[in-house]
């Protein structure tokens, strides 16, 4: 890849790091730290409680189920009401939920059925939060800083994910309960920080307080129509539906149970693999912060990234453990490149007044693929070899990359190759 240095002078930095952008970035870091810890802890609890990849898949699917319909409602709501208030209110609610889990573990009244209910609640909170965050974040970025800002956003998850091996160590030495107290505290701190963001949101429509549920159908149709009439956005969304169905879901569902069931691997080595991936993501995000991809090559770079990730994901479980670490490090760097190109270009393309509805539709479509995949691959994982399923579905994704993205490049390329 060829990178061109950005002007990193004081003026650019001061323009990017305004009050609101700084608060939402720091708040996201804090809450993401807690979210990473809880995701690992909940996954371990479910696997140890059921010892079944299918039961684990059902938990993941139920956690993602709200993303089928909640973003549709949230997207229309968030184009008319304060996104800032929604952000910090949801973080306060998350703090309470994880405090409840801590109490439930210490008092021994949690069971698989209750975990299913909690999965649904957490999934609902997350699905609303994601639409609110995706719609609010771009409004805090001055023109000319989109690529740089999203490179910062892409570094947050890797930083937080470094907590996974720490969580695994605490699980082995102390227990899982303390992880949920940490998570509750992290969300509370994030929420307090976010209350300090300015609430001047120009997207709020006049008369928004008279918004009624019956208007949802009309508002959502406008978002869907917006997507359909913008073919570039449509094919990008369709590709990430396929990616969720055939690539992301199979890895999320089968990799952790595979490591658990192979004596030479186990949870600890799974966290090492995850750490290698997030370290790659962090380095990739840092490179995107310091250097700008040349606009005219972004589509070609994205295509190359999609192809390479599919091939590496397909075969890495057949390699020695050291090779797994290296491959996941490379995948991490490439994944950030994919994320940065996609999110910065689409969010810069979509009108601010339509951003909530577009993000709601995008999440609904991609989550549909994720849930179908999680249930399907979880069931097949009870019968077939996990490595074979992961390899096969990544090769399917490889073929679809050429069908959905490359063949429709006349529509996708203008979005990816725009100067941000």
At 91-112, the pLDDT tens digits run 899 899 989 988 888 888 878 8
Predicted pLDDT of residue 313 = 92
- Pick 9-197+220-416's CATH classification: 3.30.930.10, 3.50.50.60, 1.20.1250.20, 1.20.200.10: 1.20.1250.20
Predicted pLDDT of residue 11 = 40
Predicted pLDDT of residue 214 = 59
Confidence of residue 201 (pLDDT cuts 50, 70, 90): low
Predicted pLDDT of residue 3 = 30
Q: Which range has highest mean pLDDT (98-112, 130-144, 157-171, 240-254)?
A: 240-254
Confidence of residue 237 (pLDDT cuts 50, 70, 90): very high
Predicted pLDDT of residue 221 = 73
In sequence order, the β-bridge partners of residue 291 are 5
Q: Whose structure tokens read 């740089």?
A: 148
Q: Whose structure tokens read 């004081």?
A: 10
Q: Which of 7-21, 98-112, 255-269, 368-382 has the lowest mean pLDDT?
A: 7-21
Q: Whose structure tokens read 């570094």?
A: 155
Predicted pLDDT of residue 420 = 67
Confidence of residue 49 (pLDDT cuts 50, 70, 90): confident
Confidence of residue 13 (pLDDT cuts 50, 70, 90): very low
Percent of the chain with pLDDT over 70: 88
Residue with the larger pLDDT of the pair 317 and 68? 317
Q: Which range has highest mean pLDDT (49-53, 67-71, 340-344)?
A: 340-344
At 312-369, the pLDDT tens digits run 999 999 999 999 999 999 998 999 888 888 988 888 888 877 777 787 788 888 888 9
Residue with the larger pLDDT of the pair 210 and 420? 420
Average pLDDT over residues 240-263: 87
Helices first, then strands: H and E counts in the chain: 18, 2
Predicted pLDDT of residue 6 = 34
Q: Which of 69-83, 106-120, 399-413 has the lowest mean pLDDT?
A: 69-83
Q: Using an 8 Å Cβ cutoff, are 75 and 354 in contact?
A: no
Tell whether the model's pLDDT for residue 144 goes beyond 50.
Answer: yes
Q: Using an 8 Å Cβ cutoff, are 284 and 291 in contact?
A: no
**DSSP codes, 304-367:** HHHHHHHHHHHHGGGS-HHHHHHHHHHHHHHHHHHHHHHHHHHHHHS-GGGHHHHHHHHHHHHH
**How far apart are alpha carbons 237 and 180 in whole angstroms?**
34
**How far apart are alpha carbons 208 and 202 in whole angstroms?**
12
Predicted pLDDT of residue 388 = 92
Q: Which of 4-18, 213-227, 271-285, 308-322 has the lowest mean pLDDT?
A: 4-18
At 147-165, the pLDDT tens digits run 778 777 777 767 776 676 7
Q: Which of 12-21, 91-100, 280-289, 346-355 has the lowest mean pLDDT?
A: 12-21
Residue with the larger pLDDT of the pair 219 and 26? 26
Predicted pLDDT of residue 217 = 67
Tell whether the model's pLDDT for residue 311 goes beyond 90.
Answer: yes
């Amino acid at each position: 890849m060829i990178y061109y240095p950005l002007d990193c002078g004081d003026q650019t930095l001061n323009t990017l790091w305004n009050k609101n952008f700084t608060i939402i970035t720091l708040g996201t870091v804090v809450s993401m730290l807690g979210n990473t810890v809880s995701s690992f802890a909940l996954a371990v609890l479910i696997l140890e409680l059921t010892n079944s990849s299918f039961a684990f898949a059902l938990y993941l699917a139920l956690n993602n189920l709200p993303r089928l319909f909640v973003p549709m409602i949230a997207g229309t709501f968030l184009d008319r009401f304060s996104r800032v208030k929604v952000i910090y209110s949801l973080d306060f609610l998350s703090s309470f939920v994880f405090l409840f889990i801590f109490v439930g573990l210490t008092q021994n009244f949690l069971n698989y059925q209750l975990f299913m209910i909690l999965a649904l609640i957490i999934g609902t909170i997350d699905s609303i939060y994601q639409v609110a965050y995706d719609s609010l974040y771009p409004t805090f970025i001055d023109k000319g800083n989109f690529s740089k800002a999203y490179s910062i956003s892409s570094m947050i998850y890797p930083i937080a994910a470094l907590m996974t091996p720490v969580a695994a160590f605490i699980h082995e030495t102390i227990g899982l309960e303390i992880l949920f107290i940490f998570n509750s505290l992290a969300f509370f701190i994030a929420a307090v920080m976010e209350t300090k963001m300015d609430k001047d949101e120009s997207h709020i429509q006049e008369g928004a307080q008279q918004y009624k549920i019956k208007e949802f159908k009309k508002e959502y149709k406008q978002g869907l129509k917006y997507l359909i009439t913008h073919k570039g956005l449509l094919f990008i969304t369709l590709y990430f539906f396929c990616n969720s169905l055939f690539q992301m879901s199979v890895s999320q569902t089968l990799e952790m149970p595979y490591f658990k069931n192979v004596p030479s691997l186990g949870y600890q080595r799974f966290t090492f693999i995850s750490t290698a991936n997030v370290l790659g993501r962090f380095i990739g995000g840092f490179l995107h912060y310091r250097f700008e991809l040349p606009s005219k090559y972004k589509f070609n770079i994205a295509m190359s990234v999609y192809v390479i990730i599919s091939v590496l994901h397909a075969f890495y479980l057949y390699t020695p453990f050291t090779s797994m670490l290296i491959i996941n490090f490379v995948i991490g760097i490439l994944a950030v490149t994919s994320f940065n190109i996609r999110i910065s270009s689409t969010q810069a393309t979509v009108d601010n007044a339509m951003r909530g509805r577009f993000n709601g539709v995008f999440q609904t479509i991609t989550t549909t693929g994720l849930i179908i995949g999680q249930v399907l691959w979880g069931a097949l994982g009870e019968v077939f070899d996990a490595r074979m399923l992961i390899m096969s579905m990544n090769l399917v994704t490889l073929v679809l990359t050429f069908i959905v993205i490359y063949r429709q490049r006349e529509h996708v390329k203008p979005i990816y190759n725009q100067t941000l």
